[in-house]
Amino acid sequence: AQRDEARGLHQQAQALFTQPTVDARAAETLRQQMLAQHDTRSKRMLQAMLDVSRVLTPAQRQQIGERMNQRRSMMERHRGERDTLERPSR
């Protein structure tokens, strides 16, 4: 449901910014809706992390931290590879 809502907001933004004249008031309203949605997701994520932290041992939380770092490194590597592929050759 949240992804569908986010997708809908992004589609609205695309439609808004491809009009011959961009409605600044509508753009600001859309921006506020996007921020509210992001804030809701962020609060849920924080609550989930706090809930998890209450049941895991410090060692288990350390393992999760290490996995998060590995995932971040992998994502950064993939982003770099994608950027290299998308960059026009000269």
Q: Which pLDDT tens digits describe the chain residue by residue (90 residues)?
A: 788 888 999 999 999 999 999 999 999 999 999 999 999 999 999 999 999 999 999 999 999 999 999 999 999 999 998 888 887 765
Whether residue 45 is found in the same domain as residue 67: no
pTM score of the predicted model: 0.66
Residues 69 and 30 in one domain: no
Q: Are residues 48 and 77 in the same domain?
A: no
Amino acid at 68: M
State whether 46 and 2 are in the same domain: yes
- The reply to whether 40 and 65 lie within a common domain is no
Tell whether 8 and 41 lie within a shared domain. Answer: yes
What is the total count of domains within the chain? 2
Tell whether 42 and 62 lie within a shared domain: no
The residue segments making up the domain with residue 14 are 1-55
- Residue 90: the pLDDT is 58
Query: Residues 69, 85: one domain?
Result: yes
